[in-house]
């Protein structure tokens, strides 16, 4: 159909017309609020690299979660900054550690908000990498058990969903199997399946106090030059039991989101990072 039989401007002529036929809609229903939890009480510590954002003690985490819920945001995702770090990330899966306490505080005070937890080891390792280091190399397979233990500890504390962000091969399957065996088959896994190596993570790493102390993360995070690899990563995570797939950083990889949307039928999360 050509002009003058077709006039596209007819349905752009009023605000209500535009609302009625809008194909893409963004609302609070589509949002997840990241929160950074630290030990202590009555602490609201500004994050210099992200003005307007803070590291919160558990009491302030509850306040922030309540504000988000009242505004219509359905979920938060928690990142923990522990009081101690060591080579085995023991505070990542300790039942009395910061994320576990934050989960319990939020679920007790704001029970209707969904609590998602970031599952990684970098913030709990004294070297800042996302897995166990052996002779300067991140040991993929040795790290899987710790990641699964961390996810399980979050589920036991009351988390509604776990989100592994480490980019170790096989971690979704290890986490899914562990949760199922321990009676948490109802807990979904949102996988950071497509997580590219990116300079945009700089401010976030300051917020989470998780920067690597040597080298970089290019041996496990994805190469920005690759797109077909994203399909392989997503396919593997789906086969291992992922319920939601994430792309990070989102705005730099809208082509990847589009391609995935054409090829898979799982929900796709887009993480807009701080850089």
Q: Which domains does the chain have, with CATH numbers?
A: 28-270 (3.20.20.70)
- Nearest CA-CA partner of 98 in 213, 185, 248, 209: 209
User: Residue 8 and residue 144: Cα distance in Å, rounded?
Assistant: 54
User: Residue 201 and residue 203: Cα distance in Å, rounded?
Assistant: 6
35 in Cβ contact with 78 (< 8 Å) = yes
Q: Is 218 a catalytic residue?
A: no
Buried b (16+ CB within 10 A) or exposed e, 23-55: eeeeeeeeebbbbbbbbeeeeeeebeeeeebbb
32 in Cβ contact with 117 (< 8 Å) = no
72 in Cβ contact with 115 (< 8 Å) = no
Catalytic residue among 85, 149, 248, 261: 248
Buried b (16+ CB within 10 A) or exposed e, 156-172: ebbbbbbbbbbbbeebb
Q: Is 248 a catalytic residue?
A: yes
- Nearest CA-CA partner of 144 in 101, 113, 110, 178: 178
Catalytic residue among 101, 107, 149, 195: 195
187 in Cβ contact with 155 (< 8 Å) = yes
Per-residue pLDDT of the chain (275 residues; tens, 9 = 90+): 899 999 999 999 999 999 999 999 999 999 999 999 999 999 999 999 889 999 999 999 999 999 999 999 999 999 999 999 999 999 999 999 999 999 999 999 999 999 999 999 999 999 989 999 999 899 999 999 999 999 999 999 999 999 999 999 999 999 999 999 999 999 999 999 999 999 898 888 787 777 778 878 899 999 999 999 999 999 999 999 999 999 999 999 999 999 999 999 999 999 998 76
């Amino acid at each position: 159909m050509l002009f003058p039989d077709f006039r596209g401007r007819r349905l752009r002529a009023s605000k209500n017309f535009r609302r009625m036929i809008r194909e893409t809609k963004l609302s609070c229903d589509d949002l997840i609020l990241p929160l950074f939890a630290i030990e202590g009480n009555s602490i609201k510590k500004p994050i210099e690299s992200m003005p307007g954002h803070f590291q919160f003690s558990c009491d302030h985490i509850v306040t922030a979660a309540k504000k988000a819920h009242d505004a219509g945001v359905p979920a938060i995702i928690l990142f923990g900054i522990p009081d101690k770090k060591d080579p085995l990330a023991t505070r990542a899966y300790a039942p009395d550690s910061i994320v576990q306490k934050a989960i319990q505080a939020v679920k007790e005070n704001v029970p209707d908000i969904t609590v998602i937890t970031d599952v990684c080891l970098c913030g709990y390792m004294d070297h800042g990498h996302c897995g166990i280091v052996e002779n300067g190399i991140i040991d993929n397979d040795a790290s899987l058990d710790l990641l699964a233990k961390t996810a399980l500890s979050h589920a036991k504390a009351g988390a509604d969903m776990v989100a592994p962000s480490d980019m170790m091969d096989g971690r979704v399957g290890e986490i899914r199997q562990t949760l199922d065996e321990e009676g948490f088959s109802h807990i979904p896994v949102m996988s950071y399946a497509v997580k590219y190596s990116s300079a945009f993570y700089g401010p976030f790493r300051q917020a989470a106090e998780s920067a690597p102390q040597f080298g970089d993360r290019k041996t496990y995070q994805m190469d920005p030059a690759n797109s077909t690899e994203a399909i392989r990563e997503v396919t593997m995570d789906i086969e291992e039991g992922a319920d939601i797939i994430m792309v990070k950083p989102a705005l730099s990889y809208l082509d990847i989101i589009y391609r995935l949307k054409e090829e898979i039928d799982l929900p796709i999360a887009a993480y807009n990072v701080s850089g």
